[in-house]
Structure 1
Amino acid sequence: MWRTATSYTAGGEPMGTLNQGLNYFYCQQNLGRRETYGKWTNVWWAKTDDDSGNTNVFISDVYIKGGDNDQPLPGLPVC
């Protein structure tokens, strides 16, 4: 993660925070919601547990190093 980000349920409800730094992710899926930050934009979201204690929440792929706009992250399986 190159920046701290808000975590969300699959339905789009804000839940908590995932801090910048090394984090783990289970899988990713296209949730049908677009997240944009500066020149980066994506409809793919990675499933993880956040630093607020919430499990099975999603972070936009926008905040994870290694991907391209509107593309899944290479090497992370689809949920």
Structure 2
Amino acid sequence: MVWRDATSYTHGGEPVGALKQGVNYFYCQENLNRPERYGKWTNVWWAKTDDDNGNKDVYVSDVYVRGGDNDQPLPGLPVC
């Protein structure tokens, strides 16, 4: 579950769209070595999904997905 609206990015880091707050699906996750910060939260792991703008195979920072710890992969989501 995404706890707030989040920007989606290409694998290379270009912003392309958004993923709205709520229940979403993810294919897998990858450590892209690009830290994303929001308040006291930070993460270098990114979840692969299709965003709400119709972009396929884009990434949203694990910072915005419930259930993880700082700079750690989300439990139960496979690595890409």
Task: Give the corresponding residue for 1:44.
Answer: 45
Separation of aligned partners in 2, 1:78 and 1:52: 24
Unaligned runs of 5+ in 2: none
Runs of 4+ in 1 over 4 A off after TM superposition: none
Whole-angstrom CA distance in 1 between matches of 2:65 and 2:28: 13
User: Residue 32 of structure 1 corresponds to which residue in structure 2?
Assistant: 33
Distance in 1, Cα, partners of 2:32 & 2:71: 12
Deviations 1:31-66 (A, max 9, x none): 110000000000000000000000000000000000
Name the % identity.
77
Count of equivalent residues: 79
TM-score, scaled relative to structure 2:
0.98
| CA root-mean-square deviation | 0.2
Gaps of 5+ in 1: none
User: Which residue identity is paired with 1:3?
Assistant: R
Give the 3-state SS of the residue equivalent to 1:71 in structure 2. Answer: coil
